[in-house]
Chains A and B, each alone.
Chain A
Amino acid sequence: MNPEHPEAREAPPEHPEDREPERGAPIGRRILLGTLGLGALGVVSAPVLQRGLEGFLGEAAQKDPTGLTGLLPNGGGFRYYSVTSSVPRKNAKNYRLTVGGLVDKQASYTLADLRALPQTRMVEDVQCVTGWRVPDTPFEGVRLSALLDAAGVRSSAGAVRFTCFDGAYTESLTLEQARRADVLVALRMQDKDISHNHGGPVRLYVAPMYFYKSAKWLSGIEVTEKVEPGYWEERGYDIDAWVGRSNGRDDEPTT
Chain B
Amino acid sequence: MNQRLEEPPVQAEARVRRFTPAERWIHRTTAVLMGICVATAACLYVPALAELVGRRALLVTVHKWTGLLLPIPVLAGLASRAFRADVGRLNRWGAHDRVWLRAARRRAPGPRPAAKFNAGQKLYASWIAGATLVMLATGLMMWFTHLTPLMWRTSATFVHDWLALTIGIVLAGHIGMALGDPEARRGLRTGSVSREWADREHPLWRP
Interface residues, chain A, CB within 8 Å of chain B? 2, 4-5, 7-8, 10-11, 14-18, 20-36, 38-40, 42-44, 46-47, 49-50, 70-74, 79-87, 130-131, 197, 235, 247-250
Contacts and interface: CB of A to CB of B under 8 A. Distances in A.
A147 to B, nearest CB: 28
A39 B130 contact: yes
Chain B: interface size category:
35 or more
Contact of A248 (B56, B115, B122, B153): B153
Nearest to A42: B159
Given A8-B99, A27-B93, A32 B126 contact: yes
Contact of B96 (A11, A43, A72, A247): A11
B18 interface: no
28 contacts: A2-B111, A2-B113, A7-B98, A8-B96, A16-B94, A16-B96, A20-B115, A24-B92, A27-B97, A27-B126, A28-B91, A36-B130, A39-B130, A42-B134, A42-B163, A43-B152, A46-B154, A46-B156, A46-B159, A50-B155, A72-B165, A73-B161, A80-B50, A82-B55, A83-B55, A85-B54, A249-B154, A250-B154
A204 to B, nearest CB: 18
B198 to A, nearest CB: 11
B128 to A, nearest CB: 9
Interface in B101-115: 110-111, 113, 115
A131 B157 contact: yes
Given A32-B127, A81-B56, 6 more contacts: A20-B94, A39-B131, A49-B158, A73-B164, A74-B158, A85-B55
